[in-house]
Chain A
Amino acid sequence: MTGKTARLIFWVGTLTSAAIFLWQTYDFHMQTPRLTHTDKLTEQVVAGKKVWHKYNCNDCHTILGFGGYYAPDMTKAFYRLGENNIASIVQHPDVMYKNSFRKMPQLGVSETETRQLVSFLRWVGDIENRHWPPQDEKFVQAYRLRESQPEKLDKVHLVLQACGGCHTFENQGRNVGGDLTTIANRIPYDRQTLINYMINPQSVRPGVAMPPQDVSPQTAAIIADFILSLKSTKEVNK
């Protein structure tokens, strides 16, 4: 090979790749509004992104798979946890992770900032990113189904979607507030009290740590039936 050929390889290689890349960058900007729903990218979402940066969440949690790998990915966190759970975790990590083997720091995020963060995460969850991460896809599906037709949804999925952020069932979900089967066998409530409890825990048991759940009365009813059914199975078994 002559020196001239070598130089040619350098220039042709570099310039073709750069040209393709720049064209793709142009196209990326053209398509981003569709793929990330920029019409829903409100001031509130941007404020949430600033909160996300301010507390350096991204150096423990990945988002879109980037960042620190110490804590769960946040891309679909809105679907996995829901608004209330996110708020409780962000504001009281010491309580939420009391029994966890990994701790989240108390960051001092304010009430307003928490709302902004939730809006940001809700918007991020809608980015059309080919269903990544794989493990959270079930939560996205469950959320979408729950929104449209609660009756037809596989009950376990529904319950875990709503309660799995703090309760476990058959080893699924996060154990902060106890296992649902254990709870079912402990509680003395009837169906309606249980529904009230979910929607506003303080109304039934003042002082309890569980936050109010953002579920419709119909969904709450399905969950209540499910939990009460766990109780009866146990008794029958005995």
Chain B
Amino acid sequence: MLIEYQSQRVSLWYFRLALVLFILQVIMGLWLSINYAFTLPQDLVNVFPFSTAREIHTNVLVAWMLLGFMGGTYYILPPECGRDLYSPKIAYAQLVIFVAAAVTAVIGFLFGWTRGKPLLEIPFPLNGLIVVAALLFIANVAMTIIQSKQKSALQWMLLGGVTFLAVMYLFGMPFYKNLNTDYYYWWWVIHLWVEGAWEVVTASIVAYIIMRVTGVDRKVVEKWLYVETGLFLFTGIVGTGHHYYWIGAPDYWIWWGGIFSALEPLPIVLMVVDTWMHVRERRNPIVNPLTWYYIIGLAIYHLVGAGLWGFMHTLPPINYYTHGSQITVSHGHLAFFGAYALLNLTIFYFAMPRLKGINKYQDRLGKWGFWITTIGMFVLGLVFGIAGILQTYLERFLDIGYSTAHLTMMFWFRVAFGVGLVFLAGVVITVYHLFTIKPSSIPAPEPVVTPASNI
């Protein structure tokens, strides 16, 4: 048996649904790039406009990310707490509610049922369902931790992260009369998620996985965890100000937002360093190289997409020109993919073979998937970046008008479409590989320290 507790099995359905949504999300992305690359007939635009496709692309993205986080939490919690989940039934009920809300939302979008608020378009009644699902999830996690005899910093960090995540969502729900107040709190959801709560969840899950596969001492891992999350929140909370430069907020945001957000890459650098150190000081042999590709790929890509690409446009004098352009899109893709898509895939590659009782898996196909998606997305990010530099230079710097600036984009989005097709192939390969994962015929090396010795 590779999983220690039966209730860890609930996570499998979270992972499967997440992977299906991943494919749907990417197909919508391709459709968006077609909208840019070609002139579409007016009749088509009338029934299925860019706006509808965009809300599907982004909401499905958020949905599969959250499914991965929740599934991942359910997977690691029992061994971390030394007991089964408080209630697997709640876990399944919550999954059904969440997915029902997400699917209804996507169908509703097609018929124009939307709140029309970017990234948070889900209408109010469905948001109610999502809140119910979130409450069930947090209650289940909290009860499992409270009732367990083993206490660890990691448990509390994880609980804190998901609670923070859920609470922030509430700020996006009311109707705000004033547009600037609306966007002020919009960023409490978007920014404090990706540069706050989600980072805490990521750091905790990665800490757990690294501890498990390397056999590195728990004390060391948890120390890093505290320092990293502390720095993430220190820089990330006030760093929210890098979105308040041009919304009609007081002047000091230019300084506070600029300086704190410029420090945001620091904890990400620490994550790369500690991953690297733990790999070098591992006490157990590497069983599945592909899982390692993902762990290290995640650390590096996180630094590039979020740290480097984020830093490039976070200072006010630069952001004045790049704000709300294809440069933002470039960063959005590299950061979301590098930090959170790869985190989810790391979780899946860690957990899914074990859930099927496989210790060492065949990874030939999965390696293709890894290289095609990671390189594909990087090239896609560069293409968006070039389109963005052209756009900002022509439209905002030279000031030669919107049409001319955007006409150049047709070419770059044809390239993006081509690259996107390759990326989609990589995603399909990865998903297929995970769904059909098989044991390897090569014997696995014996572990030196058992996971239990870490607790």
Contacts and interface: CB of A to CB of B under 8 A. Distances in A.
A20 B118 contact: no
Interface in B307-345: 320-321, 323-326, 328-329
Contact of B116 (A14, A52, A70): A52
Interface of B is mostly: helix
A56 B231 contact: no
Interface stretch (A35-43, A150-158, A203-211): A35-43
Contacts of A105: 45-46, 49, 51
Interface string B98-131: 0000000000000010111110010000000000
Given A105-B49, A133-B396, A14 B233 contact: yes
B240 to A, nearest CB: 7
A18 B437 CA distance: 44
Contacts of B402: 72, 135, 174
A10 B175 CA distance: 34
Contact of B234 (A17, A57, A65): A17
B177 interface: yes
Contacts of A130: 245-246
Given A53-B116, A129-B247, A13 B181 contact: no
A77 to B, nearest CB: 11
Interface string B220-260: 00111011011101111110110011111110110010001
Interface stretch (A1-9, A178-186, A188-196, A224-232): A1-9
B45 A104 contact: yes
Contacts of B324: 62, 65-67, 69, 73, 133
B117 A129 contact: no
Contact of B42 (A10, A16, A36, A94): A94
A107 B247 CA distance: 27
A32 B118 contact: no
B250 A69 contact: no
Contact of B180 (A1, A14, A64): A64
Contacts of B399: 134-135, 138
B40 interface: yes
B453 interface: no
A141 interface: no
Interface string B412-424: 0000000000000
Interface stretch (B80-88, B143-151, B286-294, B403-411): B403-411
B55 A17 contact: no
| B: contact size bracket | 35 or more
B238 A3 contact: no
Given A3-B223, A54-B116, A49 B250 contact: no
A144 interface: no
Interface string B360-371: 000000000000
Interface string B169-190: 0000001011111011010000
Contact of A59 (B54, B153, B397): B54
Contacts of B323: 65, 132-133
A13 B230 contact: yes
A172 interface: yes
A31 interface: yes
B234 A14 contact: yes
Contact of B401 (A68, A101, A127, A172): A172
5 contacts: A6-B227, A103-B41, A105-B51, A127-B247, A174-B402
The 6 closest A-B pairs by CB, nearest first: A65-B324, A13-B234, A53-B116, A59-B51, A10-B230, A132-B246
Interface of B: 35-36, 39-42, 45-46, 49-52, 54-55, 112, 114-118, 121, 153, 175, 177-181, 183-184, 186, 219, 222-224, 226-227, 229-231, 233-238, 240-241, 244-250, 252-253, 256, 260, 320-321, 323-326, 328-329, 395-397, 399-404, 406-407, 410
